[in-house]
Structure 1
Amino acid sequence: MSWDPITRIIGNLGIYTKIDFKNREVVECKSTSSLFRGYSVFMKGKDPRDAHFITSRICGICGDNHAVCSIYAQNMAYGVKPPPLAEWIINLGEAAEYMFDHTLFQDNLVFVDYCEQMVKETNPGLLRTAETTEAPNAGIHGYRTIADIMRAFNPFSGELYRQALQVSRITREMCCLMEGRHVHPSTLYPGGVGTVATPQVFTDYLSRLLNVLDFVKKAVPMNDDIFEFFYAALPGYEEVGRRRVMLGCWGSFQDPDAVDYQYKNMNDWGRKMFVTPGIVLDGELRTTNLVDINLGMRILLGSSYYEDWQSEETFVSHDPLGNPVDQRHPWNQTTLPKPQKRELDGGNYSWVMSPRWFDSRTGDHLALDTGGGPLARLWSTALAGLVDTGTVRATGHSVEINLPKSREFGEMQLEWQIPRWANTIERNRARAYFVAYAAAMAVHFVEQAMGEVRAGRTKVFSDFDVPDEAIGCGFHEAVRGVLSHHMVIRDGKIANYHPYPPTPWNASPRDMYGTPGPYEDAVQGLPIFEENGPDNFRGIDIMRTVRSFDPCLPCGVHMYLGGGKVLKQVHSPTFGTGVSG
């Protein structure tokens, strides 16, 4: 069975599966992308000061994340440090973006898969149970039963669905107050920002934030209720979308007191970010060092429509600390597209390459995933235990989120605890908690920005010159996960530029070692809980799993359901004729 396309911002996602209905399991999955973008090709020769304006257009939903990441890479290449107020303004804009995007995706797209109408069509028995199951947090969010929550998720008619649209509007306004425009910022630059920092602009931001806090305080307990119900009502549902814990987070929200954008100090200022970078492997925090994270990046081929660049030019042989840089590192990549026919059985089938992280301890190329963004961010931050702003505290095993008094609610503390699994439900649950995390951080950022203004430190830009020769790298978190921009400057122009957003990490096909990408790995082996048979199968658990990674707003799904194909017939005197595969 195939779902193609699952419409996306970056490329067109197709999911191709082989399903064993007798054993109710997905036995094989291939993730494809049918669109070539080519930013790494046409960035060459451009003025590096235009990089953030151009790369913002990579995505129509998280363009500001790309702009910010590009600015970070440019700051490093130019050797410029923005004033503290500029950093607080960027952090405020990015916090608003996380709240905007996660709310829109979670409540207007993800929860359609958990709404009353969808559950009625795919698991009517589950809906009957939901009608008689009381919601544990009803006293907070106001919905008496789990079925009442599901009705609130119904598209267009559901109360929560409509409320989320209003919150998305408010948070988008917050982003515009800081970044000038959404989704392609007009006031963010290398060296600082063009935002006019007045008490009024921060007050306008804060007044909207208080409205968002009211929504968040209801949404998180409601998310917990619906997800705990699925675990309890469908024993074994934790296996849906479960894969080995291999999470990557590149960090977010710079600390102006620590960051200087110098590569030699990148480990130090990276660990001071308000979302801690890290690689989590089997529950262990392998590293928080951005230098190690950078040097471990490898771009592999295998099932992609590209020629290998191993014999091409090496742009960066060693990093500024003298460490050797691999030929398959983004600094050294040359994009050589090779259009060809899609071959799902043993051939090439996607325009997405296969980013991997090289584990020097084991020699493995790890197919890290982002957990949809929030799962990796919260997991890495929790284990590192470095963040403590008063509004957010990482404990080593959890993240405490302290939300101040708002219009409808008093102070509230939420705690995201490291889960037992990296699966579909926990990716989705983490998204609700990260909206709360971003809101709590925004409270802290507003206080810091207002402190700068009250002290008369209103400078928001530092001058710089573009060097003839330089390299830079920016590390950030797009809404749905890891984001890096690597740039090489020669003769004052861009000689090489490679942005790596979460899409290629999550949607990558099988690499040169045969390792499946995260979508493929999470869907392959997935148990089927849907009550429908092959003739009217909706694939709801597959769709929930793919969407749990937040694949760039899958706003339209088209499914082709043929009669199937017999892969093997077995004749047995005992059991007669059966069909497998």
Structure 2
Amino acid sequence: MTTTQPGPTKTQTTSSDVVEMAWDPITRIVGSLGIYAKVDFSQKRVVECHSTSSVFRGYSIFMKGKDPRDAHFITSRICGICGDNHATCSCYAQNMAYGVKPPHLGEWIVNLGEAAEYMFDHNIFQENLVGVDFCEKMVKETNPGVLEQANRTEAPHAADHGYRTIGDIMRALNPFEGEFYREALQVSRWTREMFCLMEGRHVHPSTLYPGGVGTTATIQLFTDYLTRLMRYVEFMKRVVPMHDDLFDFFYQALPGYEEVGRRRVLLGCWGSFQDPEACNFSYRDMSEWGRKMFVTPGVVVDGQLVTNDLVDINLGIRILLGHSYYQDWEDQELFVTRDPLGNPVDRRHPWNQHTLPQPQKRDFDGAYSWVMSPRWFDGTDHLALDTGGGPIARLWATALSGLVDIGYVKATGHSVLIHLPRTALKPEVTFEWKIPQWSNAIERDRARTYFQAYAAACALHFVEQALAEVRAGRTKTWEPFEVPDEGIGCGFTEAVRGVLSHHLVIRDGKIANYHPYPPTPWNANPRDVYGTPGPYEDAVQNTPIFEENDREHFKGIDIMRAVRSFDPCLPCGVHMSLGRGKVLKKLHTPTAAPEPLAQ
């Protein structure tokens, strides 16, 4: 059994040692992401990288004219992986546009659903997808010397997770055969069940609406959730130390490995888990209730917190084109000139974006991707923020802000403390995620493990709050609303792999403009109009090559680890509308009524 994707395509040798290579499609995700790189084998380094998306995304086009109350059902179908994140974010945007505040219990249920989604998706990606990059079979194919060392290296936290050596951990991660790989699949079932208890269906919620949820809240409902959650909490007490041992080993075994996938610290987090006590979804109060989220929003530049104000974050978003397959909208209509606080709104803000596709042949000197180039404008520079796959940005922004303190989780200003209570087989434990030295492949993956524990700890708090509401007789979960003839709204949350925003404009009671911006455009974008590479491109360029294979047998594992550390997901880039429909081929035109079927 091979554990790697098919080897890279060698397109052209540009010198005796620099070779053009392509990984298209990148495996273990939806197959519309391609990485095109030039590798200098004499220097063992990637010297150039381009990230491409080969399929058009058209939701912003066919949302126009729809009833805004359908927005969350439609945008949920953007993705078959994180559809519930889109539905949630759309409901947040609608709540703002309609001026509706859901009941407290409704928001606790939404939080519990989102926490279950984080636990589910991060678990299955970390253990069953990205984990394969670190398994025994993969390491044997690419770095046999490292595997030999792993088999000789005692795992420092063996008593916590049960694997004596690092080699044993790698064997447990082997796909389909490894003990831990199979266990993680079972765990993903618990977390999916937890989500369905709260929102009816995964991944397209059936009980989630603007104004709250249609879920019937009972003591039994939350007890069923809690029993599964406690199993997951016990699981995480093994997972965190196991991954710490594995990732620390790579730094030890391969000095300089911190440079793989490393880029400047430019992280964006839009915040997650609303506090019903603070959040009224009013734009005028967004700065205040945004800071009360249980995952704090923030922009982190060179390790420093620039802002955790959602109004500032919103107004700073710019959508640039650069090397993407679209026409400019410089001469198009402005939908929103000022926000509800009177601040000017830029033409390149999502509220004012027009999507004008311009298909053409791929040209790395011209246009080469269907992904636009979102940037965050700090008043001077258009910053190419990334999400780091989601968790590293969330934990970094939360840690620096120092605002979260709910017993189970606490932000200290330089770290995040995660307290997991006693479970059936293990005592209570407190993990500390510390702000790392680098934003690189290993630290993105490590943060994903810690955020699984963070989401579980938050869910324990949410269950307690939801049960308190039910026991007090406050069982209302939905608030009625009316759709205005004119209105605007914006929703901010964190999809599993990072920042997610939905911007909505209503005219004559219908959607006039709608732009969802998930993590993929922020991470996978091409060079912008200023020539700034997108985050995938930036993270891969200059990545050193530690793989032991020669040029003829090169797998590109270090490049794949760099890209997959961002948890790439391209479903958000694979949709198109044919308008009213188009007959592609007429197979049969009946001339008479069909004969009845035989009984």
- The TM-score by the shorter chain falls in which range? over 0.9
Mapped to 1, the partners of 2:569 and 2:219 lie a distance apart of: 35
Q: Does 1:89 align with 2:89?
A: no
Contact 1:472 1:486 in 2 (8 A): yes
1:302 match: 322
Q: Does 1:227 align with 2:217?
A: no
Q: After TM superposition, give the deviation of residue 301 of structure 1 in Å.
A: 0.6
Q: Equivalent residues in 2 for 1:469-488 (5 A)?
A: 469-488=486-505
Of 49, 68, 71, the match for 2:69: 49
Deviations 1:119-139 (A, max 9, x none): 001000000100110000000
Mapped to 1, the partners of 2:65 and 2:28 lie a distance apart of: 29
Mapped to 2, the partners of 1:278 and 1:8 lie a distance apart of: 30
What amino acid maps onto 2:428 in structure 1? E
Mapped to 2, the partners of 1:48 and 1:252 lie a distance apart of: 23
2:43 match: 23
1:347 match: 366
Q: After TM superposition, give the deviation of residue 6 of structure 1 in Å.
A: 1.6
2:524 match: 507
Q: After TM superposition, give the deviation of residue 8 of structure 1 in Å.
A: 7.4
Deviations 1:121-173 (A, max 9, x none): 10000001001100000000010000000000000010110010001011000
Please state whether the residue corresponding to 1:505 is helix, strand or coil: helix
What amino acid maps onto 2:300 in structure 1? V
Q: After TM superposition, give the deviation of residue 7 of structure 1 in Å.
A: 5.0
1:575 match: none
Please state whether the residue corresponding to 2:528 is helix, strand or coil: coil
What amino acid maps onto 1:492 in structure 2? G
Please state whether the residue corresponding to 1:474 is helix, strand or coil: strand
Of 76, 99, 102, the match for 1:79: 99
1:64 match: 84
Contact 2:336 2:352 in 1 (8 A): yes
Deviations 1:82-139 (A, max 9, x none): 0000000000000000000000000000110000000001000000100110000000
Q: Equivalent residues in 2 for 1:272-287 (5 A)?
A: 272-287=292-307
Of 146, 151, 154, the match for 1:134: 154
What amino acid maps onto 2:394 in structure 1? R
Mapped to 2, the partners of 1:174 and 1:502 lie a distance apart of: 24
1:194 match: 214
2:378 match: 359
Deviations 1:393-436 (A, max 9, x none): 00000000000111221111100000000000000000000000
Deviations 1:257-307 (A, max 9, x none): 000000000000000000000000001100000000000000001100000
Contact 1:300 1:355 in 2 (8 A): yes
1:418 match: 435
Q: Does 1:466 align with 2:483?
A: yes
Of 393, 397, 415, the match for 2:414: 397
Please state whether the residue corresponding to 1:6 is helix, strand or coil: coil
How many equivalent residue pairs? Answer: 551
Deviations 1:38-64 (A, max 9, x none): 000000000000000000000101000
Q: Equivalent residues in 2 for 1:115-194 (5 A)?
A: 115-194=135-214
Mapped to 1, the partners of 2:513 and 2:146 lie a distance apart of: 53
Q: Equivalent residues in 2 for 1:354-393 (5 A)?
A: 354-360=373-379, 363-393=380-410
Quote the sequence identity (%).
76
What amino acid maps onto 1:106 in structure 2? Q
Contact 2:25 2:32 in 1 (8 A): yes
Please state whether the residue corresponding to 2:39 is helix, strand or coil: strand
What amino acid maps onto 1:267 in structure 2? S
5+ residue gaps, structure 1, are 555-581
What amino acid maps onto 2:355 in structure 1? T
Deviations 1:315-373 (A, max 9, x none): 000000000000000000000000000012x111000000000011xx11000000100
Mapped to 2, the partners of 1:108 and 1:8 lie a distance apart of: 9
Mapped to 2, the partners of 1:359 and 1:76 lie a distance apart of: 25
5+ residue gaps, structure 2, are 1-20, 572-599
Please state whether the residue corresponding to 2:494 is helix, strand or coil: strand
Q: Does 1:431 align with 2:451?
A: no
1:497 match: 514
What amino acid maps onto 2:383 in structure 1? L
Mapped to 2, the partners of 1:8 and 1:400 lie a distance apart of: 32
Contact 2:350 2:503 in 1 (8 A): yes
Mapped to 2, the partners of 1:310 and 1:450 lie a distance apart of: 52
Q: After TM superposition, give the deviation of residue 12 of structure 1 in Å.
A: 0.7
Mapped to 2, the partners of 1:553 and 1:127 lie a distance apart of: 32
Q: Equivalent residues in 2 for 1:308-327 (5 A)?
A: 308-327=328-347
What amino acid maps onto 2:425 in structure 1? E
Q: After TM superposition, give the deviation of residue 311 of structure 1 in Å.
A: 0.7
Contact 1:383 1:398 in 2 (8 A): yes
* CA shift in 2, pair 1:36/1:437, >3 Å: same
Of 240, 249, 270, the match for 2:260: 240
Q: After TM superposition, give the deviation of residue 553 of structure 1 in Å.
A: 7.8
Please state whether the residue corresponding to 1:17 is helix, strand or coil: strand
Mapped to 1, the partners of 2:150 and 2:432 lie a distance apart of: 26
Structure-1-length-normalised TM-score:
0.94
Q: Does 1:206 align with 2:226?
A: yes
Structure-2-length-normalised TM-score:
0.91
What amino acid maps onto 1:150 in structure 2? M
Contact 2:395 2:447 in 1 (8 A): yes
1:445 match: 462
Please state whether the residue corresponding to 1:251 is helix, strand or coil: coil
Q: Does 1:549 align with 2:573?
A: no
Mapped to 1, the partners of 2:28 and 2:131 lie a distance apart of: 18
1:267 match: 287
Please state whether the residue corresponding to 2:38 is helix, strand or coil: strand
* CA shift in 2, pair 1:242/1:9, >3 Å: closer
1:103 match: 123
1:5 match: 25
Contact 1:486 1:497 in 2 (8 A): yes
Contact 1:240 1:526 in 2 (8 A): yes
11-20 vs 328-337, which deviates more?
Answer: 11-20
Contact 2:390 2:498 in 1 (8 A): yes
Mapped to 1, the partners of 2:163 and 2:417 lie a distance apart of: 25
What amino acid maps onto 1:200 in structure 2? Q
Q: Does 1:528 align with 2:545?
A: yes
Mapped to 1, the partners of 2:400 and 2:212 lie a distance apart of: 32
2:275 match: 255
Deviations 1:215-252 (A, max 9, x none): 11100000000000000111000000000000000000
Please state whether the residue corresponding to 1:341 is helix, strand or coil: coil
What amino acid maps onto 1:236 in structure 2? G
Q: Does 1:519 align with 2:519?
A: no
Please state whether the residue corresponding to 1:5 is helix, strand or coil: coil
Mapped to 2, the partners of 1:332 and 1:457 lie a distance apart of: 41
Contact 1:298 1:355 in 2 (8 A): yes
Mapped to 1, the partners of 2:200 and 2:61 lie a distance apart of: 29
1:565 match: none
Mapped to 2, the partners of 1:408 and 1:105 lie a distance apart of: 26
Mapped to 2, the partners of 1:285 and 1:204 lie a distance apart of: 39
2:57 match: 37
Mapped to 1, the partners of 2:409 and 2:304 lie a distance apart of: 22
